[in-house]
Amino acid sequence: MQLALFCIFAAFTLAFGLGVVFFRSPVSSAMSLVMTFIGLAALFVTLDAFFIGVVQVLVYAGAVMVLFLFIIMLLDLRADQRRPVKLSAWAGGGIVVGGFLAILSQVVFSLPALEQTKPALANPAVNDVAQVGLALFRNFNLPFQVIGVLLLVSTVGVVVLSRRELK
Amino acid sequence: MPTLANYLIVSGLLFSIGLAGVLLRRNILIIFMGLELMLNAANLSLVAFSRFNLGQDGLPGYNAQVLVFFIITVAAAEVAVGLAIIVALYRMRQTTHVEDLDTLKF
């Protein structure tokens, strides 16, 4: 049952990931990316990471993708025109991606420690949100405050970058 | 039962799909979406390792999930600033095709 669910969610995520890269229209790519994020949230839930799954849907699918779609609407992008395919560019890209996948599969299949199935939790009904919150505020309090400053800086930067020159 | 290797293979495939998007597409917004795919693939790896390496008390290693939280936050900030740059670029050049942006080309 768990294996079937994992296969369904993994296939869903990878199929829409391919859709992001291969659709002509930017809106189709953006919607495929939303579905990819939702598939990833489902995979997070199968890994008992409920807080991260919900944050993924709220922040990525709910805020980041809305921002992308606003920009696509603002720039009024049309579907990509069919420009002639440069074979050298596609061959180069294919070699890089294929090389990465070869190295990855060699590493993953050579380590027996990676063949373990999910170990049973000491407490299957663990309060995920509380545990992540405790780890965040006990061990990582300073990076948390720095993240707040980072968000402020990025907001100011967006406002500065979007200004039109006043004549 | 899915093993850790299964999750890592899915993460690696998603990363390579994002990498292919960055290398092969020439619309700058699609390149940006490929970047987001790569970040999410890394998130999946981190959460898988967090679940499979239990801490001393038999609970998942939550440090990795805190790192995923930070990665999601930083990616959101990066998307905001990157899209502001793209909009400013579009206002100047009226194009989103990377091959038309060749001022820095050697």
Residues B23-39: pLDDT tens digits? 888 889 999 999 999 99
Question: In this structure, is residue A54 part of a structural domain?
Answer: yes
The CATH code of the domain that includes A46 is 1.20.120.1200
Q: How far is CA A123 from CA A47, A58, A128, B15, B56, in A?
A: 14, 27, 11, 33, 13
- Residues A37/A45, Cβ–Cβ less than 8 Å: no
Residues A67 and A5 in one domain: yes
Residues A136 and A75 in one domain: no
Provide ipTM, 2 decimals: 0.92
Question: In this structure, is residue A89 part of a structural domain?
Answer: no
End position of a domain, from candidates A44, A64, A79: A79
For the stretch B26-84, pLDDT in tens is: 889 999 999 999 999 999 999 999 999 888 788 888 999 999 999 999 999 999 999 99
Distance from the Cα of B37 to chain A's closest Cα (Å) equals 8
Residue of A123, A132, A143 whose CA lies nearest to A51? A132
Interchain proximity B66–A29, CB inside 8 Å: no
Question: Is residue A2 predicted with pLDDT exceeding 90?
Answer: no
- Residues A35/B34, Cβ–Cβ less than 8 Å: no
Residues A74 and A133 in one domain: no
Maximal CA-CA distance, chain A:
66
Q: How far is CA A16 from CA A10, A76, A143, B76, in A?
A: 10, 23, 33, 21
Domain span at residue A62 reads 1-79
Question: In this structure, is residue A92 part of a structural domain?
Answer: no
What pLDDT was estimated at residue A124? 79
Question: In this structure, is residue A71 part of a structural domain?
Answer: yes
Distance from the Cα of B43 to chain A's closest Cα (Å) equals 9
DSSP A79: P
Nearest to B24 among A36, A55, A93 (CB): A93
Count helices and strands (H / E) in chain A: 7, 0
Options 1.10.287.3510, 1.10.10.10, 1.10.3720.10, 3.60.20.10; which CATH number does B4-100 get?
1.10.287.3510
Residues A10 and A70 in one domain: yes
SS3 content of chain A, % helix, strand, coil (to 5): 75, 0, 20
Give the DSSP per-residue string, A52-65: HHHHIIIIIIIIIH
Angle at B74 between CA B72 and CA B78, to 5 degrees: 115
